[in-house]
Structure 1
Amino acid sequence: MVALLTSLALASLFGTSEQPILTSQSRVLAAPDRVIVRFASETARKECERAGIIVLRDIPEIGYSVVRVPWGQVDESIERFIRSGWVSEAYPDRAYRLAYEPNDPLFPSQWNLFKMQVPQAWDWTRGSSQVVVAVLDTGVDYNHPELAPNLWVNLDEIPNNGFDDDDNGLVDDYLGYDFAYNDPDPMDDHGHGTACAGIVAAAGNNSLQIAGVAFQCRIMCVKIGLSNGYSYDSMFAPAVIYAAQMGAKVQSISYFSDDLTPALRAATDYAWKLGSLLVVAAGNYNEPLPLYPAGYDRAVGVAASTSSDRKASFSNMGSWVDVAAPGVGIYATTRGGGYTDSFAGTSAAAPNAAGVAALLWSWSPNARIETIREALEYSAEVIPDPAAGAYVNYGRINADRALRYLREATLLPDGFALWNTIQPAIHWVSPHRIPYEGGRVTIGGRYFGWNPLWGRVMLNNQRLQVLEWTDGKIVAWLPRGARPGWLQVVVRGVPSNRIWLERAFHPTRRGA
């Protein structure tokens, strides 16, 4: 009962339908009365609380807390916290928008399944009840006849008894959890999340209307969106952590923001370490600038494509976007047991890609997360748009090809997959001139793989120290006084294209 009262108290502290504000100094879209902090110490936390600051939520897995501040005084409160020495980090509670884009109704037709060759993939697997896809959205209508048969339930929790039976800090999270309002009921009060859930895993072979991409997988209902559609870091980050801890192999996320935040980035990395793959909408601004969390290294960013394999007019693009998937005129479930034939946006593309990822996990449940992601991306069809060109890093998702990649891969004892030889490609290097004093150089590209032991970065045939290594980005260290020359990435003995690096201008110092 105490835990239930605590949950209800938290629900009252968080707004129920708040609108974000533009902060006064940092000029970011954020909650009007909350800040994300990392306390400098336990003593500093107690001093902060004695000063009247209320801690709304702790996120111990990544070391952050959510605190209440006076309405509209976000930046001013951050300055106060830092000046007082209470915190080592403090950030606005950033707002996230839904990635939905409405269009004109189309005739009922699940063209997305045929375009991604999902029916061919179903000859191998239609999903597995052991593979769970968390839909982080505005909630899910768990009474919908297409969704109810495929709901994940927390078997360690007794529903509606007012106790935290599984000792995970949440009361009665039997069907998932509502992180927007801090209660155990993840019912959709908006509609967006129900549509996304249907795309992922609406039940198939049930004589009803539609089939989800992975229609034998399970849906975990994780509500992060308020009834007005907005979500915030304070809701988003703990939800990502929860889904990973509760066993979701895939997280379908159709939210975006135009700036990175340390809390959500840390939550994304935490989920990756637990083997939970975030598949995220790239956003609907028709621009090449990165949005987040799709732009994080350990999330799969998804653009939207049309039935003619063009870039959807609204979809974001760029090498930071990993793949494309159908995102216009998609048939989906709606609240109250209905359907729509006009769900669109990168919001629709992300659950399409998430469903394919779930099929891959179903076929190979013990594979490493790196292997699943490589199969998803390496198998994508490269179909440049006549106007936009190559608008994603890999291509448009193809379920049948992805499963074939996975079936034909050689799985090594450490779990990594040995694919047929693919030439790595460098897209860009930053900085493009070698600093005189040395420093970091970031290399963007593809097909670098996720195992740094298989690759190396070379400048003038000299190996550079590698600081970070992912399939699409490498960070290496340039030593002081490095000479101009060709930069190249070599993976499993296969060299990439070469990029010439000049030395940065270093002005001659003169004596006084």
Structure 2
Amino acid sequence: MRRFVGLVAALAVAGGLTACAPAVPRTGTASAPVATGAADFLVFYADGAQDAARAAIQRAGGTALGAEPKLGYLLASGPGDAFVDALDGDPAVAGVTGDRLIGAVTAARWTGTEATRPATALHALPATTARPATAGRTAMPDVSGMAGAAAEPLAKRQWDMRMIGADRANTRAPGTKKVLVGVIDTGVDGKHPDLAPNFNRALSRNFVTDIPKDREGQEVDGACEVKSCKDPADVDDDGHGTHVASTIASPINGVGIAGVAPGVQIVNIRAGQDSGFFFLKPSLDALTYAADIGVDVVNMSFYIDPWLFNCTANKSDSKKQRQQQRAVRTGMQRALDYAHAKGVTLISALGNESMDLGRPTVDTASPNYPRGSERTRGIDNSCLNLPAEGKHVISVSALDPAGRKASYSNYGLEQADLSAPGGDGGGLSTTRSILAAAPENALRADRKLDSSGEPTTSEVIRDCTPGDCSYYQYLDGTSMAAPHATGVAAILISRFGKPGKGGVRMDPGKVAKLLYATATPKACPAVRACEGGKSRNGFYGRGVVDALKAATVKP
């Protein structure tokens, strides 16, 4: 994972506000963001305290610029840290975080060509560090006598799908195009041959603007790939989101692989920067948008930066830092509540720190922006990793090919709801990792392809069996586990959802109940770290997701 959970991260110091034309919603009413100018701060107000918060902003020397009543915050300008300090302790204010542009994107030089991005840590754990001189294209597997997903060219490499019965489930219940799956991530390559048939371009949106450098001159996303620095909604310059989307819904089309639910639609709802940071406001916008257009289930393989754990009153944090973490907790939970109330099933990766989230003691990864700001601070179970520990969220731990908790996967009796394949290559073998689609542009930027398009690493597979070549990569992480659960949820919604305006709808509580009922219970191994019984424990939650049971369970 990068800071994604496989893990995608996000900054709480958000990028500037950008206007986005509203989509024609499948259900409900979609709305554009409430303001188009860059604000200094997001000021979250206590329930029913919008007017009091406006007054507090004015007393602190600031100006309220606009409001987002759906999630209960005001956009405000103010005199820097003194503004935050003045609001600290005001009963009308639930949290304050910066919303200032951290980079001057309009001044960025655009080369008109793909730019090489900075060498940052991967969102997902890389499958291997080996770099063979040539990896070549994959050999065509023997698929004689096979049908459906099993006949896909790379099906034999998908141990993950066999583990959860997806290779047999998707010939019975592939899912329906009436189900919309939102991928809140770094983007989705909507032109990839193994995603395009299921990609809904009309509803897809990008809520971020690329940031070449921050105000201190640190490189964030690198040079912009397009003149506006705002990538089209069918582009993924990173690859993490495309991998997630492919695991969920790559179609059965004679190309590459098949996803868990190969018949549903994917909606790209981008909230992550090219560099892997996830800012607070784009993440809030993404969840709100998903709810407003009638998305059925969203996959969230990320956490909100700059805090791995968000505490409300950590004595080692400054006033500004405490307000920032309160804002993340308040804003994300309100967004999760809003989406849940609108019928969105929320699924998240659990994280890759090999940590018991029920007993955290030390956070050494925060704040991770600006880079180099990390320090060691003591924490406890009152501090939350978000969105994984948010209310209404189904959080997923990762399994290795043997069905054990992956070595890197977080766990916790309170936090782990389900488990699913995430891989555990550990730099030893790609055959232990998860294979899914990859954008060619991102692979070239990372120098994983040579000038002729041949892979330079065993992490990447080129499939040219249909004629035109497409690319796939092996990754590990709870980011890779969560989309398996999301795909199973999409199967259940396809089967049991009730007809609605333009699609089907299903109460998220009922989706969760069926996910748990169809999961295969798995007992703790004989290790002290795993708590709980077979029906629910800290390593596997309520069990391993099972696509075949989801496809065949009786109503």
Q: TM above 0.5, one fold?
A: yes
Counterpart in the other structure of 2:38: 13
State the SS of the aligned residue for 2:355. coil
Q: 1:42 to 1:294 in 2, by over 3 A?
A: same
Matches within 5 A, 1:248-263: 248-256=295-303, 257-259=308-310, 261-263=329-331
1:119 Cα deviation (Å)? 2.4
1:311 Cα deviation (Å)? 0.5
In structure 1, the gaps of 5 or more residues are 15-32, 155-173, 410-512
Structure-2 separation of matches of 1:131 and 1:217: 6
Structure-1 separation of matches of 2:293 and 2:73: 20
Farther off after superposition, 58-67 or 187-196: 58-67
1:279 Cα deviation (Å)? 0.6
Checking the alignment, whether the CA contact within 8 Å between 1:250 and 1:357 is kept in structure 2 is: yes
Give the alignment's Cα RMSD to 1 decimal.
3.5
Checking the alignment, whether the CA contact within 8 Å between 2:438 and 2:472 is kept in structure 1 is: yes
Checking the alignment, whether the CA contact within 8 Å between 1:99 and 1:346 is kept in structure 2 is: no
In structure 2, the gaps of 5 or more residues are 1-17, 23-31, 100-120, 131-137, 139-153, 211-228, 311-327, 359-384, 424-432, 442-469, 499-505, 531-536
Counterpart in the other structure of 1:282: 350
State the SS of the aligned residue for 2:333. helix
State the SS of the aligned residue for 1:245. helix
Checking the alignment, whether the CA contact within 8 Å between 2:422 and 2:481 is kept in structure 1 is: yes
Structure-1 separation of matches of 2:330 and 2:473: 37
Structure-1 separation of matches of 2:512 and 2:21: 41
Matches within 5 A, 1:127-142: 127-142=175-190
Structure-1 separation of matches of 2:56 and 2:391: 37
Structure-1 separation of matches of 2:73 and 2:125: 33
Structure-1 separation of matches of 2:192 and 2:518: 33
Counterpart check, 1:404 vs 2:552: yes
TM-score (norm 1): 0.63
1:51 Cα deviation (Å)? 7.3
Counterpart in the other structure of 2:249: 201
1:179 Cα deviation (Å)? 4.3
Counterpart in the other structure of 2:214: none
The letter for the 2-side match of 1:62 is: L
Q: 1:48 to 1:295 in 2, by over 3 A?
A: closer
Structure-1 separation of matches of 2:51 and 2:409: 45
Q: 1:86 to 1:188 in 2, by over 3 A?
A: farther
| Structure (1/2) with the larger strand percentage | 1
The letter for the 2-side match of 1:147 is: L
Checking the alignment, whether the CA contact within 8 Å between 2:60 and 2:78 is kept in structure 1 is: no
State the SS of the aligned residue for 1:280. strand
State the SS of the aligned residue for 1:272. helix
Farther off after superposition, 100-109 or 276-285: 100-109
Counterpart in the other structure of 2:128: 104
Counterpart in the other structure of 1:322: 417
> Paired residue for 2:339, among 238, 254, 271?
271
Checking the alignment, whether the CA contact within 8 Å between 1:134 and 1:220 is kept in structure 2 is: yes
Summarize deviations over 1:357-378 as a string: whole Å, max 9, x none.
Answer: 1011111122432221111112
1:282 Cα deviation (Å)? 0.3
Structure-1 separation of matches of 2:488 and 2:20: 38
1:128 Cα deviation (Å)? 0.7
The letter for the 2-side match of 1:64 is: Y
1:238 Cα deviation (Å)? 2.2
Counterpart in the other structure of 1:77: 83
Counterpart in the other structure of 2:268: 221
Q: 1:400 to 1:331 in 2, by over 3 A?
A: same
Summarize deviations over 1:32-52 as a string: whole Å, max 9, x none.
Answer: x64442284447537847977
Structure-2 separation of matches of 1:258 and 1:224: 19
Counterpart check, 1:313 vs 2:338: no
Counterpart check, 1:392 vs 2:552: no
1:404 Cα deviation (Å)? 3.5
Counterpart in the other structure of 2:497: 365
Farther off after superposition, 389-398 or 190-199: 389-398
Checking the alignment, whether the CA contact within 8 Å between 1:324 and 1:392 is kept in structure 2 is: yes
Checking the alignment, whether the CA contact within 8 Å between 1:176 and 1:184 is kept in structure 2 is: no
Checking the alignment, whether the CA contact within 8 Å between 1:179 and 1:224 is kept in structure 2 is: yes
Structure-2 separation of matches of 1:224 and 1:3: 14
Summarize deviations over 1:198-248 as a string: whole Å, max 9, x none.
Answer: 1111122x2211111111111111111112211122221221111011111
Counterpart check, 1:62 vs 2:71: yes
Structure-2 separation of matches of 1:222 and 1:279: 14
Counterpart in the other structure of 1:332: 436
Structure-1 separation of matches of 2:334 and 2:79: 26
Checking the alignment, whether the CA contact within 8 Å between 2:33 and 2:285 is kept in structure 1 is: no
Matches within 5 A, 1:397-476: 397-405=545-553, 407=554, 409=555
Structure-2 separation of matches of 1:365 and 1:116: 22
State the SS of the aligned residue for 1:130. coil
State the SS of the aligned residue for 2:85. helix
The letter for the 2-side match of 1:90 is: G
1:191 Cα deviation (Å)? 1.8
Q: 1:277 to 1:105 in 2, by over 3 A?
A: farther
Matches within 5 A, 1:21-32: none
Checking the alignment, whether the CA contact within 8 Å between 1:300 and 1:323 is kept in structure 2 is: yes
Counterpart in the other structure of 2:325: none
Structure-2 separation of matches of 1:297 and 1:378: 20
Structure-2 separation of matches of 1:393 and 1:8: 37
1:265 Cα deviation (Å)? 0.9
Counterpart in the other structure of 2:289: 242
Counterpart in the other structure of 1:302: 396
Counterpart in the other structure of 1:124: 172
Structure-2 separation of matches of 1:184 and 1:8: 18
Q: Which has the larger radius of gyration?
A: 1
Counterpart in the other structure of 1:478: none
Number of equivalent positions: 363
Structure-2 separation of matches of 1:61 and 1:180: 23
State the SS of the aligned residue for 1:231. coil
The letter for the 1-side match of 2:38 is: L
Structure-2 separation of matches of 1:300 and 1:180: 29
Checking the alignment, whether the CA contact within 8 Å between 2:61 and 2:79 is kept in structure 1 is: no
State the SS of the aligned residue for 1:303. strand
Structure-2 separation of matches of 1:242 and 1:3: 13
State the SS of the aligned residue for 1:317. coil
1:150 Cα deviation (Å)? 1.0
